[in-house]
């Protein structure tokens, strides 16, 4: 639970005082980056259920007051960290062809989900079922950027006169991403996702859906 004492009554260790914002002084972005990196480490080691502000503070080498100063709750802290995953899940892509762009979009998603942090991300989908705000952030981070990028792929393909999907692109994208995420969650209790074989199979599926 968030600390109920006013921050002025909370002791701030000497190592944190240099990061306290003074009037007219910009936010210490390096400190924030350090805390966000600590959030990722705790998620990998403890999972979302084990993510607490005190554990993050310890991993970052700062006081809990320093963390609370930026995020009043565990959820706010986590959502801020999760939004940083957007570029890893959906990086900027332009290979010069529609099929190549789709291949790279698939590859980026699989590469991320095969990392320790990405495997943690796969377990978060269940949280979204019970928490609408959680689901909204996942949607913003995972689906919205991918759909926007697919629209850009289609626009460029149209200018080049290339063939594109034979079905509605949102439907195809949802199918591709859901297949990838299902593999990543390892719902059947098998070995972790094999990134190389999954990439090959999903790329083949995507190519089969491009109008012949």
pTM for this prediction:
0.75
Per-residue buried b or exposed e for 11-44, using 16+ beta carbons within 10 Å of the residue's own CB: ebeeebeebeeeeeeeebeebbebbbebbbebbe
List, for residues 81-103, the tens digit of each pLDDT value. 888 888 888 999 999 999 999 99
Domain end residue (candidates: 42, 72, 102): 72
Q: Is 67 among the domain residues?
A: yes
Shared domain for 129 and 40, answered yes or no, is no
Shared domain check, 201 and 111: yes
Residues 6+ apart with CB under 8 A from 172: 165, 206, 209
E strand spans, the chain = none
Range of the domain at 21: 7-72
Number of helices (H), then strands (E), belonging to the chain: the values are 13, 0
Position 67 scores a pLDDT of 93
Q: What is the pLDDT of residues 100-145, one digit of tens each?
A: 999 999 999 998 888 888 877 766 777 777 888 888 888 898 899 9
CB 94 within 8 A of CB 29: no
Whichever domain contains 57, its CATH number is: 1.10.10.60
Q: How far apart are CA 40 and CA 7, in angstroms?
A: 25
Tens digits of per-residue pLDDT, 174-196? Answer: 999 988 888 777 644 456 678 88
Determine the 3-state secondary structure of 210 from DSSP. Answer: strand
In the chain, pLDDT over 70 holds for what percent of residues? 82
Are 90 and 163 in a shared domain?
yes
| CA 25 – CA 73 distance, rounded (Å) | 25
Q: How many domains does the chain have?
A: 2
DSSP state of 169: H
For residue 12, pLDDT beyond 50? no
Any domain includes 77: no
């Amino acid at each position: 639970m968030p600390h109920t004492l006013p921050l002025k009554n909370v002791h701030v260790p000497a190592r944190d005082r240099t990061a306290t914002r003074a009037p007219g002084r910009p936010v210490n972005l390096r400190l924030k980056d350090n805390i966000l990196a600590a959030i990722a480490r705790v998620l990998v080691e403890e999972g979302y259920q084990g993510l607490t502000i005190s554990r993050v503070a310890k991993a970052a080498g700062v006081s809990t007051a320093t963390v609370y100063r930026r995020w009043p709750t565990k959820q706010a802290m986590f959502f801020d960290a999760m939004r940083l995953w957007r570029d890893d899940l959906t990086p900027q892509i332009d290979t010069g062809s529609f099929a190549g762009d789709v291949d790279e979009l698939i590859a980026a998603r699989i590469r991320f989900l095969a990392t320790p942090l990405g495997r943690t991300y796969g377990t978060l989908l269940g949280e979204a079922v019970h928490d609408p705000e959680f689901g909204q952030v996942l949607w913003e981070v995972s689906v919205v950027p991918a759909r926007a990028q697919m629209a850009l792929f289609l626009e460029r393909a149209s200018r080049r006169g290339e063939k594109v999907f034979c079905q509605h692109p949102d439907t195809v994208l949802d199918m591709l991403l859901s297949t990838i995420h299902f593999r990543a969650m390892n719902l059947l209790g098998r070995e972790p996702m094999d990134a190389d074989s999954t990439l090959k199979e999903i790329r083949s599926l995507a190519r089969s859906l491009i109008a012949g």
